[in-house]
């Protein structure tokens, strides 16, 4: 484990000090992750994702509760899986160029997906959706600046819709039957 910590120290330091410094408390090697590249964990006395959802959904909670705000604003620890291919590639990129923009984008995307996987509320949903769309455009080879095709204008026809035969009679029959029921009562 010590060897892994030493090997991945450039990545954990880069994640905590540069790429995600506003979002996480620290980054460390995980001993418990199997399939996921990373996960967010709280401190010993912090709130889990489920607890955060419960607290934020309470209708009678004070909106300016200092204790509530303290726990909701606590930074989490990002645990990374050193055996995951995404983490290995991120380490290579950071070692070769710590200012790599792609590495920073991937780190941010991994943080956001870890936030969701760990059950926490994602704060910047619009930015997340935008980055997913950019990733899809890049994967499919669609230029980022290619605009959405405008909807063609349909020619308006001046024809009025045809009336269904017997439609007026049905309305009259319905009102007659209602009047007849009132008379019987």
| Amino acid 30: pLDDT | 96
Q: What domains are there in the chain, each with its CATH number?
A: 2-140 (1.20.120.790)
The pLDDT value given to residue 88: 97
| pLDDT for residue 163 | 63
Radius of gyration of the chain (CA): 29
Polymer length of the chain: 185
Q: Which residues of the chain have pLDDT under 50?
A: none
Q: Which of 101, 81, 105 is nearest to 31 (CA)?
A: 81
Question: Residue 67's pLDDT is what?
Answer: 81
Q: How far apart are CA 179 and CA 184, in angstroms?
A: 9
Structure tokens that stand for 30 in this block: 């995980």
> pLDDT at position 175, please?
56
Q: State the pLDDT at residue 6.
A: 95
Q: Look at residues 11, 4, 5, 35 and name the one whose alpha carbon lies nearest to residue 92.
A: 11
- At residue 1, the 3 state secondary structure works out as coil
**Which residues share a beta bridge with 40?**
78
């Amino acid at each position: 484990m010590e060897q892994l910590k030493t090997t991945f120290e450039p990545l954990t330091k880069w994640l905590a000090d540069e790429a995600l410094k506003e979002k996480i408390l620290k980054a460390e090697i995980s001993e418990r992750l199997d399939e996921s590249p990373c996960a967010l964990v709280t401190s010993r006395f912090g709130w889990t994702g489920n607890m955060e959802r419960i607290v934020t959904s309470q209708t009678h909670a004070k909106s300016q509760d200092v204790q509530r705000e303290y726990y909701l604003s606590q930074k989490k620890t990002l645990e990374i899986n050193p055996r995951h291919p995404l983490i290995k590639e991120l380490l290579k990129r950071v070692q070769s160029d710590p200012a790599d923009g792609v590495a920073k984008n991937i780190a941010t995307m991994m943080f956001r997906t870890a936030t969701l996987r760990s059950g926490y509320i994602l704060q910047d949903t619009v930015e997340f959706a935008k980055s997913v769309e950019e990733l899809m455009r890049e994967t499919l080879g669609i230029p980022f600046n290619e605009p959405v095709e405008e909807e063609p204008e349909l020619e308006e026809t001046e024809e009025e819709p045809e009336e269904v035969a017997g439609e007026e009679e049905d309305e009259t029959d319905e009102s007659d039957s209602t009047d007849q029921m009132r008379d019987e009562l």
